[in-house]
Structure 1
Amino acid sequence: MSSKRKHSPLWTHFTEDIDNKKAKCNHCSTIISIAGGSNGNLTRHMKTKHLLIPLTAERQTPILPSLNSLQSSQSTCESENIISASSNIVDSQQSMTQYIRRPPPVPKIEQIDKQLVKMVAKGHHALRIVEETEFRKLIELVSQCPGYKLPSRKTLSENLMSRIHNDVMAEAKIKVQAAPALSLSTDGWTSRNNDSYIAIVAHFINEETKLHSVLLGCINYKERHTSQNLCDFMKVVMAEWNISHTVAAIVSDNAANILSAVRLGDWRSISCFAHSLNLVVQEATKKISHKENIN
């Protein structure tokens, strides 16, 4: 094994076999071929099987020049200044060590991996949770804050969620109100508990020409679903978000009450293509069933 390859940070995660043609992973004991002379197989293994384990090696603190190397002709005052400056450099370098990301020891990594598997298995979480961006951000932040403690369920539901909801709502309003034009989609349904709900979603293209959708509301609607009531409801939502002047069209199903509500508000109506297609299929199946019964 060449010294160049053995000096790679990858070898902190592998143990070389005697024949110099294979390496054993220190995390999962997998045997990997290195006969080709490169570390490509080792890198692919770490990125595929141990993605959360950093590959970079620990940084070494620079060694300051020895004071014995200073010329003997320097004056005492100059020497004291150099010693003072050297001490300041050492102090500065020591304070910087808190920002260096050192890889955790192998036993600690194995312990965390085991706990992760337990969480996924006992909590019935999807395996894709380890690939979700927000979950990975959470783990990254927690790793930088060892003293952090998870809040209780009551704190999470009654305090944190409502506070963060207000922050997210404020950010969403800025984005929606910045759109020069947008369309709304709305639909209503009844839950198993016989509670009626109506949702409204805003769709717009931002300055970067990217399509965005923002849920303006999903409300337990207890009024009668008359055309006038639905029209008034949509006007209230538009006023709350200050978008009454930017609504270009409203997409809905083909129910008579919502179509009439859109006309009352003098908005452009666009029928939901999926609902229209569903009605066509239902009508076609009725005729097919009728012909079969006749035959």
Structure 2
Amino acid sequence: MCKSNLSYKTSSSNLKKHIQKKHSTVTITFLESKRSTVVTQHKENSQNKESIDNDRPSTSEVSSVNCVEGRTALVKSSTNKSHQDQTRVDNYFRVPPKISVRSKHNLDKKLLGLFIKDIQPFSVVDDIGFREFVLALNPSYELPSRHIISKTLIPALYEECLTNTKTIINTGRTFCITTDAWTTINNVSYVGVTAHFLDSEFNFKSILLECSATDMRHTAENLAEDMKRVTRDWQIENRVIFAVADNAPNIQKALQQIGWRHMGCVAHTINLIVKDGIKNDEILSVLEKIREIVSHFKKSTISNNKLMKY
């Protein structure tokens, strides 16, 4: 229109005020969809309107068209940018697909191997590094808490294992029992009982029936009662034909009370033979020299380092 230069930053307020003040014959219309400002000029009569339609556009109309096209291009560009931004946000907050119940169950069983095979503490599932490692492997898998592991998953797996083991034991017709009793360096007494048998397909099987701590003395009567209880719980009490144990008097007497035939442990017998054989004076003298040599290297770091480099 008047080709004046106006200052603008983020809005068209200066242009609007200028038009209202200097060009009163011009009206301003706002498009609802694009919020674009279209400038149109009132026409004095129908003749001027016809001439505008037939001849080339006036300055005001050209300005109006340029304004609309510019705003349209701006809106289109903004729309594309917003679409790109929205895509990036969606990708960032993308929710991983849920895993099936079967897959969750299989992963839980593999997790239990940490505690059953590697004797790891249940608290490992609370370690930050371990949780980040599992998340990187499978973002869809949610680690169970240590309380769920100890109160639910481990007992359930124990019952499953117990049922399967009883099924296997039922395939045996006769059994051999091996047993041993010992005391740890912490003064905790243990008794272990293992069953050996051939299954229906003539495959050799060995199953640990029980290894439990006991506060009773390792007398013949206590050992006999404990072994009878274990075999009774597994329903094989009447199918045991003999038992293998060391040559300790309390074990031999306990097996006699139960009525099982006793066979001495070969490894224990060989150990007794070796202990009796090294009581020779010449052998004891050699052993004493060996002990002194070992003691020297254990006490001297310098000597031990030289020995390691030799």
TM-score where L is the length of structure 1:
0.48
- Which one has the bigger helix percentage? 2
- Greater relative CO (CA pairs within 8 A, separation 6+): 1
Structure showing greater Rg: 2
